[in-house]
Chain A
């Protein structure tokens, strides 16, 4: 089991600093998760740390491609506004 970083990532480093497994590394065009190291923080924290600090909705997904921070969940911007501004995606 491992989380993944999507193209929505803005390379802000926040997740790198809080990952207890040093599973996140810099790459182009964006940071990536080493799935051999990622434990989704089981045993270390109650929630995956990368997803708990990531400021960008839709940037972290689980193995099924589901967003840990779906559209609107962090900014509080209503879905219809996100759609209007082209900032909404259904799945990764």
Chain B
């Protein structure tokens, strides 16, 4: 079966936005899918930008083994201070995983999705992975099952995936050219041998593409993840996007490379640059012509629990779960009530056409402006210095459009926290300078308050700080500021980049 790909035209202003919580383009990003596919994904937090504000997900770390090496991964994965893929605090047996899922589902009724994503490759751990899925589909039939894989063992397990009703699969595809692959994957384990270099990459790519085709032939939804690695696969990802679309993937998620020396990865130690937020956005925009792009991914841990962007894993460590008593039958009844309420709310929202943003006074040919917002729950809420991430919006005469999120914090406390000692100190750049640097390309930053020092530095960087819209809905605030700028005449196409107002 051929799955159509969502058209990814720019959302219209009236649909654009998730005012209930402040990040995510729009319900209409999935709007062009056929009904039966949209029904499968519109309540899935990892696929639907809208749903991720209401529904939570969890990963269980039952899959420690891996069959390939990626240059962005260090298999010493046990670090509780980091939040990134491949990292977990404790590996679980399938039995422990089931107990954890039931406990979380009872405690967090909006958790609707269970994924197995590592810390290695789920399909390199088929016994542990499929035992977990099998028991869950029996004992918690109201939970959606997902799996994320590098694809090497995918073709041999496609039938089991179909058999366990796993209708969402994510494949990480970073390349379709073995020469590019050899720069990303030093080796794979295949047919009882370790195979290095171009030959290993060639086999991996073949299996990924075959697996993708086999899944879409069976009507299983496939999302493709790609890691953007500047100078290695950046231009190449445009081709990847075209090819996976042609094979029937329904969503493409391009994520930035994480490469810090203190993580001990090849790319980290070899000082491979990470993409700037602008590079990521440009590439996502370039691929968007071919493919529905996902922009709300938070690159979570292989044992994450909760809404995207939050991690409640600490509440559900095995010692705590062991003493919890879970009546899942009763929990399922409660869960159903909560799910119905959320769906009702979402349906109501999807049905309502939001009044068009107030755009009078903005010339139709005004140039777009990027603004960073320290937002929470849909409003401009955070102090500049407290924001863990900024939501990037583009304001244009058509309205406000969510573009991406940019994290402010360092990903990790450093190798000291992981017990490895003498890795070099991260640079001497202050956190404030770093946070200002990640706002590159933005002309305004909206937050509830800004301190004196950051205010001056922001102005010096050509970014206008704005604390005048605290607690206002994000899109209203963005458009109000855009209008103010328009009134100064600085948005005519020929005008120079906006300076501090």
Contact = CB atoms under 8 A, between A and B. Distances in A.
Interface of A: 10-14, 16-18, 45-47, 49, 52-53, 55-56, 74-77, 81, 84-87
Nearest to B76: A10
Contacts of B65: 12-14, 16-17, 53
A47 to B, nearest CB: 6
Contact of B75 (A18, A56, A76, A85): A56
A13 B422 contact: no
A81 B269 contact: yes
Nearest to B194: A52
A45 B270 contact: no
B422 A55 contact: no
Interface string B405-423: 0000000000000001111
Nearest to A86: B422
Contact of B125 (A17, A74, A81): A17
User: Would you list the 3 A-B pairs with minimal beta carbon distance, nearest first?
Assistant: A14-B65, A86-B422, A55-B75
Tell me if A's interface is mostly helix, strand, loop or mixed: loop
Contacts of A13: 64-65, 91, 120, 125, 128
B266 A47 contact: no
Given A77-B269, A85-B261, A11 B66 contact: no
17 contacts: A10-B75, A10-B77, A12-B64, A12-B75, A13-B120, A13-B125, A14-B66, A45-B192, A46-B193, A53-B67, A53-B189, A55-B75, A56-B75, A75-B71, A85-B261, A85-B424, A86-B420
B124 A14 contact: yes
A75 B194 CA distance: 13
B264 interface: yes
Given A14-B66, A76-B266, 10 more contacts: A11-B64, A12-B64, A12-B66, A47-B192, A74-B186, A75-B266, A77-B270, A81-B269, A85-B264, A86-B420
A47 B66 CA distance: 18
B67 A14 contact: yes
Tell me if B's interface is mostly helix, strand, loop or mixed: loop
A85 B66 CA distance: 24
A60 B261 CA distance: 25
A6 to B, nearest CB: 14
Contacts of B125: 13, 17
Contact of B193 (A52, A75, A85, A86): A52
A16 to B, nearest CB: 8
Contacts of A17: 65, 124-125, 127
B91 A76 contact: no
Contact of A47 (B119, B193, B420): B193
Contacts of A12: 64-66, 75, 119-120
Contacts of B186: 74-76
B229 to A, nearest CB: 15
B55 interface: no
Contacts, number: 79
A89 B345 CA distance: 59
Contact of A87 (B120, B187, B264): B264
Contacts of A46: 192-193
A17 B120 CA distance: 13
Contacts of B2: none
Contacts of A87: 264, 420
Contacts of B127: 17
Contacts of B421: 86
Contacts of B119: 12
B69 interface: yes
B78 interface: yes
Contact of B422 (A16, A18, A85): A85
Nearest to A14: B65
B414 to A, nearest CB: 12
Given A13-B64, A84-B424, A52 B264 contact: no
Contacts of A55: 66, 69, 75
A67 to B, nearest CB: 14
A13 B76 CA distance: 13
A26 to B, nearest CB: 10
Contacts of B192: 18, 45-47, 49, 52
Contacts of B75: 10, 12, 55-56
A67 B142 CA distance: 49
B467 to A, nearest CB: 43
Contacts of B71: 75
